[in-house]
Copies of this chain bind each other. A is one copy, B any other.
């Protein structure tokens, strides 16, 4: 760990895979239509934002991908996308 560590700002979005029932999405859609809006195809997901330390962008991406499969998403039912942006040296 002697090498210099960089900080990266990470954004992860986790969505239920297509084909699985998104009950929350359905409820939201109904409620919005009740309120008089003409809404369809509603889906609900989660966003995570955090800062991570890594040696370089490659590593940061690898780590984030790992975190997604190990904790933030369940690859069996979720799909996820992420972005990693360098924010500075430590």
Contact = CB atoms under 8 A, between A and B. Distances in A.
Given A67-B32, A71-B32, A72-B28, A42 B48 contact: yes
A46 interface: yes
Interface residues of A, number: 31
A51 B44 contact: no
Dominant SS at the A interface?
Answer: strand
A63 B47 contact: no
Contacts of A38: 5, 52-53
B44 A46 contact: yes
Contacts of A39: 50-52
Contacts of A72: 28
Contacts of A13: 47
